[in-house]
Amino acid sequence: MSRRRRMHLEISERKVFLRIFDLIWVFAALYLTSVFFSMNYYRISADFWIWTLVLGSYLMLFSTVFELYDLQKASRYEAVLKNVILTTSVTVLFFLLTPLLTPVLPDNRMQIVYFYLAIAVSMLLWRFTYISLISTRRFEKRVLIIGDSFNVDLISSQLQRADPYYNVIGYVNTAKEEEAANEHFKPGIYRYSAEDLTSIIRRHKVDEILISDIEPEAEISDLNEQIFVLLKRGFPIRDYSMVYEEKTHRIPVQHIERNFYKFFRFSSSNDNKFYLFFHRTADIFLSILGLIIGALLIPFIYFGNLIANPGPLFYKQKRVGKNGEVFDILKFRTMPCNAEPNGAQWTKKNDGRVTRFGKFLRRSRIDEFPQFYNIIKGEMSVIGPRPERPVFVEELSELIPYYDTRHFIKPGLTGWAQVMTDYADSHADSLEKLQYDLYYIKHRNVFLDITILVKTLSTIIFFRGQ
């Protein structure tokens, strides 16, 4: 057990690491460019510290918008190349057009080319170095799960999708034999016996153990004694539900039914008067801005619908809001007037009922602008769980445990579930969205709200609306 453990950066540590070295490489490149290529447009010095502050702020903002801190994309060369070029282009454009706080445009326009290339090339060199040297299996964490019968394949995929370097290599199933027969696992994940955990850890180079639910009979067995011995030796042993929430930013509601309210502590922000005042003030400000933009778009949308989708410009639909109250949501119409002749049905990805012009409205999120009127009225918020139709809420509440918990706060125009996953067109998708919604309700705060708004910009820019 004295084996030296591999270095493993957690998700938050890896993102901080990327941000710090993004800034170091960019400013080092700008300094060297100013020295060797006589670039006078931008200089790093105490006299011009505001330039560095503005440039660094833009770089961090647009790197986030263009997903340079998405760990899955940050480990792929083609994604990094595209996102670095987008980030550099928008960062330089905003920096050039910021009045007073940035340098005056130079007479020699080659200075701007040097400025742009210094940022782009340094970012690409650093990020490609990261992929080849740091984003590799040598920094992975090998994990063993101990618990009752569960879908190991699904758990492994979800954890690795959130953290590409968190590798579930096997599990110890403590369930009864007849329950263990229902287990699912993929090649590369093995079932181990609980007889000698120490030898398993040594033989398979396990770095961490996750403990899931264990039957009471198992808790008094030799397995429990082995776990305590490992704990006394300082071996990392963590609760599965906590790790799942920390890495995926979801609440594993299907695994914590027996102690849901003990585990699911509601965010103090739900009763924080200052936070609620800030939240409502931001709602009103953004709604006024959104309604103005929406009004300017009406002529374009009207003529688009007139040609491609004749009928009313708007449509209303019943949705379930806070505390289960039903209200009429307002949207720009994207389907024909008789889209549901046989009653309510799920909207699916690439739904054939959506017109070609309607697809554009949905993918660009323009169809959502009228909902700012619902926000002004107080029926919705800018950020919150997406409001569902009453018929689907009734259906999902019977199938998914604690589904109604998402109605404890106002529904939102955008939200954690919307920016973290795709459109829900099945019960399984709705369960995944519920997990994200509950995470937001549990952890909501100003910083999480800002993160959602930034991710929403990414959704709009990359045309991911549905």
Query: What is the spatial distance between Cα 452 and Cα 416, in angstroms, rounded to a whole number?
Result: 6
The larger pLDDT score, comparing residue 44 to residue 1, is at 44
DSSP 405: G
Q: Which residue has the tokens 């103090």?
A: 268
Tokens of 321: 């809001």
Residue 398, judged by CB atoms within 10 A of its CB (0-12, 13-18, 19+), counts as exposed
* CA within 13 Å, CB half, 340: 7
Provide the pLDDT for residue 291: 95
Tokens of 21: 């070295």
Q: Mind listing the pLDDT tens digit for each residue in 318-355? A: 999 999 999 999 999 888 777 666 666 666 666 667 88
* 320: β partners: 326
Q: Which residue has the tokens 């609620």?
A: 276
Q: Which residue has the tokens 């340094």?
A: 122
* DSSP string for residues in 273-290: HHHHHHHHHHHHHHHHHH
Residue 444, SS3 per DSSP = coil
Mean pLDDT (the chain, rounded): 84
Provide the pLDDT for residue 343: 64
Report yes or no: 54 and 42 within 8 Å, Cβ to Cβ.
no
Provide the pLDDT for residue 429: 81
The larger pLDDT score, comparing residue 141 to residue 135, is at 141
| N-to-C CA span, the chain | 51
Report yes or no: 371 and 330 within 8 Å, Cβ to Cβ.
yes
Provide the pLDDT for residue 290: 94
What's the one-letter identity of residue 368? E
Query: What is the spatial distance between Cα 413 and Cα 27, in angstroms, rounded to a whole number?
Result: 38
* 184: β partners: 151
Residue 12, judged by CB atoms within 10 A of its CB (0-12, 13-18, 19+), counts as exposed
Alpha-helical segments (H) within 185-320: 197-204, 216-219, 222-232, 240-248, 260-263, 273-308
Looking at the chain, how many residues does it have?
466
Share of the chain above pLDDT 90, in %: 36
All structural domains of the chain with their residue ranges = 11-134, 140-248, 268-461
Report yes or no: 280 and 382 within 8 Å, Cβ to Cβ.
no
* CA within 13 Å, CB half, 213: 13
Domain 140-248 classified CATH 2.60.460? no
Q: Given a cut of 50, is residue 19 above it in pLDDT?
A: yes
Q: Given a cut of 50, is residue 300 above it in pLDDT?
A: yes
Query: What is the spatial distance between Cα 275 and Cα 60, in angstroms, rounded to a whole number?
Result: 25
Q: How far is CA 50 from CA 8, 112, 189, in A?
A: 36, 18, 53
Provide the pLDDT for residue 320: 95
Q: Given a cut of 50, is residue 181 above it in pLDDT?
A: no
pLDDT tier, 7 (very low <50, low <70, confident <90, very high otherwise):
low
Provide the pLDDT for residue 341: 62
Q: Given a cut of 60, is residue 359 above it in pLDDT?
A: yes
Query: What is the spatial distance between Cα 302 and Cα 70, in angstroms, rounded to a whole number?
Result: 37
pLDDT tier, 151 (very low <50, low <70, confident <90, very high otherwise):
low
Query: What is the spatial distance between Cα 389 and Cα 398, in angstroms, rounded to a whole number?
Result: 15
Lowest mean pLDDT segment, chosen from 39-43, 92-96, 301-305: 39-43
Q: Mind listing the pLDDT tens digit for each residue in 409-432? A: 999 999 999 998 877 667 778 888
Mean pLDDT of 172-198: 67
Residue 26, SS3 per DSSP = helix
